[in-house]
Amino acid sequence: MKVAILGLGVVGRGVYDIISSNFKDIEVKYILEKDESKIDDLKHLVVHSYEQIINDREVDVIIELIGGKKAAYDFISKALKHKKHVVTANKALLSEKFEELTELAKDKDVQLLYEASVAGAVILLDPLKKIREINQINKIEGILNGSTNYILSQIFLGNKSLADAIAEAYHLGFLEQGSDDDMNGLDSLRKINILSMICYKSFLKEENILRIPLSSLTEEFIKYVKEKGYIIKYISKSKIVENILSIKVEPVIIHQKSSFANIKFEENIVNVYGKYHLKQSFIGQGAGRYPTASAVVYDLLTIKNKSKYSLSFDKTYHVNNDEEKYRFLVQNKNKIYKSEFMTYSEVIKEKDLICFSRIEEELYEKL
């Protein structure tokens, strides 16, 4: 099997390393990378024209790791049209163009795989594609963003201030300079969107997801929660109850003994609830060169092995994020207070709202 890697950044290099040291029957024939400083030893594989790759009949698989939406969209759709299998970790593109790209791949009878796009190293999309046929999944919840989980861990375990934790995350490369996607929740939103589409067999739109940016939290709010002995986690959740879908990304106040509290630093967790089992949890590293690269190579093995699910997406749900009332901790310009039961729409309309967070069941009385 011959593959081309688009983008030789952190993950791309990891993919190259894993393939070349583990698989004699997979050959990296081309690398597309403009930044010559990244190429050094691999100059003989570098090409500058994508046309050369796409027109080479020997190339079976395009591995897209350049990120961003515009060029990646162009590369992936061209690859599928040329009947090349595609492996990508690009959650931003997938979340937005999932229907179009899925149908294009189906049309051309090739595979579009994206195990690395959700929860990095954690292998869950491949099993979920089968589990969804057996199990009628009705709830997914998880911590899907390693950067914000790192920051919250430093605040609640490492006892750092919000500002210091953010500064450290930048310093360590967990937060990207120039992108707010982690702190404003877009990264988590894309992942819960992809997970939900797969598990619920339905194409969903990003704009239907309720998203409370983590960056809305204030030092005072965090201090208040900390003093009560609780912690905040940035949780993504989607749920179906009788054809009504709710789907949210938000900070939640939880107990130190809650199972999410154990998911620390850059770790991710995904809990899936289905008709035939209560809960199945997938936990592991949400990011990093080799963890993410190994999920990319996992997809390559699926293609090499010719195993394929033809996934249908024939369900539709009515989206309603106000389907239930919750209790919230709310900060406005005068004070921090606990609300009575209310919907998200109602809490968002509170007077002088600065920030708010849902309170996990049973903590309300003690908060």
Q: Which of 130, 205, 338, 349 binds a copy of itself (CB under 8 A)?
A: 130
Q: Which among 113, 108, 141, 110 is positioned nearest to 129, based on CA atoms?
A: 113
Q: Is 288 in the site for a copy of itself (CB under 8 A)?
A: yes
CA-CA distance, 324 to 320, in Å (whole number)? Answer: 9
Q: Is 135 in the site for a copy of itself (CB under 8 A)?
A: yes
Q: Which of 297, 303, 330, 347 binds a copy of itself (CB under 8 A)?
A: 297
Give whichever of 77 and 280 is closer to a copy of itself, judged by the CB atom: 280
Q: Residue 346 carries which side chain, given as an amino acid letter? A: E
Q: Is 1 in the site for a copy of itself (CB under 8 A)?
A: no
Site for a copy of itself in 306-325 (CB under 8 A): 306-309
Cβ-based neighbour number of residue 341 at 10 Å = 11
Number of residues forming the site for a copy of itself (CB under 8 A): 41
The CB-of-337 to a copy of itself minimum distance in angstroms stands at: 31
Q: Is 278 in the site for a copy of itself (CB under 8 A)?
A: yes
Strand 280-285 with 267-274, pairing: antiparallel
CA-CA distance, 328 to 342, in Å (whole number)? Answer: 8
Q: Which of 96, 126, 176, 323 binds a copy of itself (CB under 8 A)?
A: 126
Site for a copy of itself in 75-104 (CB under 8 A): none
The CB-of-306 to a copy of itself minimum distance in angstroms stands at: 7
Q: Is the dihedral of CA 217, 220, 224, 230 positive or negative?
A: positive
Chain centre to alpha carbon of residue 143: 9
The CB-of-266 to a copy of itself minimum distance in angstroms stands at: 10
Give whichever of 170 and 309 is closer to a copy of itself, judged by the CB atom: 309
The full DSSP string for 118-179 is SSTT---HHHHHHHHHHH-EEEEEEE--HHHHHHHHHHHTS---HHHHHHHHHHTTSS-TT-
Helix (H) or strand (E) holding 284: strand 280-285
Q: Which of 106, 284, 325, 346 binds a copy of itself (CB under 8 A)?
A: 284
The binding site for a copy of itself (CB under 8 A) comprises 14, 18, 22, 121-123, 126-127, 130-131, 133-135, 259, 262, 274-285, 288, 290-291, 293-294, 297-298, 301-302, 305-309
